[in-house]
């Protein structure tokens, strides 16, 4: 363990210098007390000392926590997430836990493709090749997100002095078409019918889809809902999408007969497990919050059952997910003339609501006179 510096000499952690009668030395000492590197020069050569300090700082910043040099993309990705983990919770640079969890999954794809490449060998055409392949596989939007993450990770290499500029800085993302999916009332009702018939997690998933619609919530907000937030005056929701500099926004969605009925139905299914009160309204059979992968599998089973039943019944049905419920709810509220849409969504501007979520097929207006 290294001891605290007696004098603030402006050097990074674990970088030490020694000024002897004839020799100046500076280097990085690893956790096992071995030197990762040392640079020496004559004590009377001030120019060489300045250069040695500069080089030592640059090399030290490009080392991993164990003192090895960051050369490959794999090492840089690991360093990035270790840095994120070490940031204070209140840091404006620290990403939300849900974002970091998603980034870890995205980073695995980057590791598979670029992991063994030297950071200095990454060029803009590598980013374009990756996007082209994603487009070919029908995962263009996901490819855009992964390249954005790669750009962010490479920016850390710039800060560490490993590279002078970010090679993905000017890479153009793939054009993507915004979703226009509007879930019909009949489709939502059919999913609830099939979910009730299947029971268990399919039943709960169908209820989550309906509550998400009625309360115009994001998918993460719906899955985060706790029983303590289900109160006498309605369901208390906290907006999940905000910057660290923004204050926490809350909305109370008042009870309607349908919303209360759906919530009580969920309570009968998951309100207690083995006699113990559960935490999450739409939790797993063990009472925990659904992971992204776990929820996807649960919803896939429900949607597959709905598709199969629709074919047998000779009716129309298109798969949908929890993300589709927010635009459906907002569109239906706007169609009904509700004046509280912005309050319900917790958005700061009406323009965002209209531009992103309004899926109404037919608009209504009064004549000029």
Q: What is the DSSP letter of 323?
A: G
User: How much is the average pLDDT of 149-163?
Assistant: 91
**pLDDT of 281 over the 80 cut:** yes
Cα–Cα separations (whole angstroms), residue 25 to 31, 42, 56, 212: 19, 9, 10, 64
Range name among 66-80, 164-178, 216-230, 300-314 with the lowest pLDDT average: 66-80
Using a 10 angstrom Cβ sphere, with 0-12 exposed, 13-18 middle and 19 or more buried, the burial of residue 60 is buried
* Global pTM value: 0.70
| Cα separation, 44 vs 42, whole angstroms | 5
Residue 69 pLDDT class (50, 70, 90 cuts): confident
Answer yes or no: is pLDDT of 143 > 60.
Answer: yes
The helix-helix angle for 292-313 and 185-198 (nearest 10°) equals 100
Check whether 10 has a pLDDT greater than 80.
no
Considering only CA atoms, which of 127, 176, 180, 167 is closest in space to residue 328? 180
Q: What number is the average pLDDT over the span 334-345?
A: 91
- Token couple for 102: 């998603």
pLDDT at position 240 over 80: no
pLDDT for the residue numbered 1: 47
> Are the beta carbons of 48 and 64 closer than 8 angstroms?
no
Q: Where are the alpha helices (DSSP H) in the chain?
A: 46-61, 73-86, 97-114, 124-136, 140-159, 185-198, 200-214, 219-224, 257-270, 292-313, 325-335, 341-345, 350-357
């Amino acid at each position: 363990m290294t001891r605290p510096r007696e004098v603030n000499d402006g050097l990074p952690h674990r970088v030490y210098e020694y000024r002897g009668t004839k020799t100046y030395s500076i280097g990085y000492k690893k956790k096992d007390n071995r030197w990762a590197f040392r640079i020496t020069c004559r004590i009377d050569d001030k120019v060489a000392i300045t250069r040695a300090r500069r080089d030592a700082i640059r090399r030290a910043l490009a080392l991993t926590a164990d003192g090895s040099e960051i050369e490959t993309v794999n090492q840089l990705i690991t360093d990035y997430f270790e840095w994120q983990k070490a940031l204070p919770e209140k840091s404006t640079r620290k990403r939300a836990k849900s974002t970091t969890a998603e980034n870890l999954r995205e980073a695995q794809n980057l590791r598979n493709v670029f992991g063994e490449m030297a950071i200095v060998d990454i060029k803009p055409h590598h980013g374009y090749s990756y996007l082209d392949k994603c487009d070919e596989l029908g995962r263009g939007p996901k490819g855009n997100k992964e390249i954005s993450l790669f750009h962010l990770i490479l920016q850390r290499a710039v800060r560490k002095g490993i590279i002078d500029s970010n090679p993905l800085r000017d890479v153009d993302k793939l054009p993507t078409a915004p979703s226009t999916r509007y879930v019909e009332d009949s489709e939502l009702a059919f999913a609830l019918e099939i979910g009730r018939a299947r029971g268990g997690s399919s039943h709960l998933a169908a209820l989550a889809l309906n509550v998400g619609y009625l309360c115009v919530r994001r998918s993460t907000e719906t899955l985060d809902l706790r029983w303590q937030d289900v109160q006498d005056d309605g369901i208390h929701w906290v907006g999940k999408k905000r910057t660290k500099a923004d204050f926490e926004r809350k909305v109370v969605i008042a009870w309607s007969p349908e919303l209360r009925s759906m919530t009580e139905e969920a309570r009968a299914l998951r309100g207690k497990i083995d006699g113990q009160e559960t935490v999450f309204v739409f939790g797993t059979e063990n009472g925990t919050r659904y992971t992204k992968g776990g929820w996807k599998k649960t919803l896939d089973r429900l949607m597959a059952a709905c598709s199969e039943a629709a074919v047998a019944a000779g009716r129309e049905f298109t798969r949908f997910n929890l993300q589709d419920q927010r635009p459906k709810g907002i569109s239906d509220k706007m169609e009904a003339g509700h004046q509280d849409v912005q309050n319900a969504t917790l958005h700061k501007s009406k323009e965002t609501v209209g531009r992103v979520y309004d899926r109404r097929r037919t608009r209504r207006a009064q004549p000029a006179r």
